[in-house]
Amino acid sequence: MKFFLLLALLSMTAGAGEFCDKLQQLPEATRSRLGPIIGLGASVTAGYGGVMGPAQRVALILDVPYVSLASNGATSAVALSRWTKAESQRCGTAIGVDLFFWDSVKGCSADAVTKIVKLAQERKCHRVIFSNVPRLISLQKSSCISLINKTLDNSVAIDVLPVMEELQRDSRRETYFRADGIHLTEVGAEAATEKLCELLI
C-alpha cells in the first residue's frame, strides 16, 4: 500500500506547481502542524472517476495523514455526521472543496456552515478551508458560504477560497472539468490543489 502511495506522490510531484513545490519544501515540523488533513465533501473530494481529490493531494504533498469523510452525493450534514462519529479526534486542516455543493441544490439550512465550523473548533483544527460553489447545474439554488456566522470565535482560521469558481471562469475550463461540467479531470485536480497550496504557504 505504501508503495502505491509513494508512486502516487512521485507522479503528482512531477506535475506539481510552484506553490505545491514550496509547500512540500517547508520544514517537517511546519508541515506536520497542518495535518492530519480532513477531507469533507462530495464526489470531487471522494475521488470521482479515479481522480484523486485536491484535499488528499495536499495531504500527500505535506506527507501527513489523510482522513476522508467524503462520498458521492453527500451534503454537509452527512459529512458532519461522519466527522462526529470518526474515531480520530485529531485535525490539522479541514478542507471542503465541494462540501456545500449538494446543500446548494437541496437548500442550505441556516446553520449548515456554523455546525461544521463549531465541530472544527471542538476538534482544534488549525485551519478550515471552504470553497465557494459556482453555479454548475440549473438545480442549484444558492451558495452556503454567505451563511458563515462572523460572530464565531476565531480559535480556528477560516478561509473561503473560490477554487471551483476560479477554475470554471478560467479560459482552460474545458481541460479542468469532465464532460459533465461538474467533476474534475486530472489537470483540474492539479490546478485546484495548486490553489490550496498557495493558500497554505
pLDDT, tens only, 147-179: 555 445 556 777 877 777 788 788 888 999 999
Handedness of CA 190, 163, 178, 184 (dihedral sign): positive
- Domain harbouring 48, CATH code: 3.40.50.1110
**If we measure between CA atoms, which residue out of 78, 62, 61, 69 comes closest to residue 12?**
61
The domain tally of the chain equals 1
| 107 φψ region: left (φ > 0), alpha (ψ -120 to 50), beta (else) | left
- For the segment 78-91, the average pLDDT, to the nearest whole number, is 91
C-alpha distances in angstroms, 139 versus 42, 107, 121, 131, 177? 16, 10, 32, 19, 18
Per residue in 10-68, pLDDT tens? 444 434 689 999 999 999 999 999 999 999 999 999 999 999 999 999 999 999 999 99
- pLDDT over 70 at 139, yes or no: no
- pLDDT over 60 at 1, yes or no: no
pTM: 0.85
pLDDT of residue 157: 77
Burial of 180 (0-12, 13-18, 19+ CB in 10 A): exposed
Query: E strands of the chain, at which residues?
Result: 37-39, 66-68, 93-96, 127-130, 157-160
Amino acid at residue number 47: G
| Cβ atoms 125, 156 nearer than 8 A | yes
Predicted confidence band at 138 (pLDDT cuts at 50, 70, 90)?
low
Three cell numbers at 160?
473561503
Predicted confidence band at 8 (pLDDT cuts at 50, 70, 90)?
very low
Three cell numbers at 149?
456566522
Burial of 41 (0-12, 13-18, 19+ CB in 10 A): buried
pLDDT of residue 76: 92
Sheet containing 66-68, strands listed edge to edge, beginning at the edge strand earlier in sequence: 66-68, 37-39, 93-96, 127-130, 157-160
Per residue in 85-136, pLDDT tens? 988 889 999 999 999 888 888 877 778 888 998 999 999 999 999 887 666 5
pLDDT of residue 43: 95
pLDDT of residue 103: 86
- Which residues are CB-contacts of 62 (< 8 A; sequence separation ≥ 6)? 23, 24, 31, 32, 34, 35, 37
Say which DSSP state 177 is in. B
* Domain enclosing residue 21, as ranges: 2-200
- pLDDT over 50 at 187, yes or no: yes
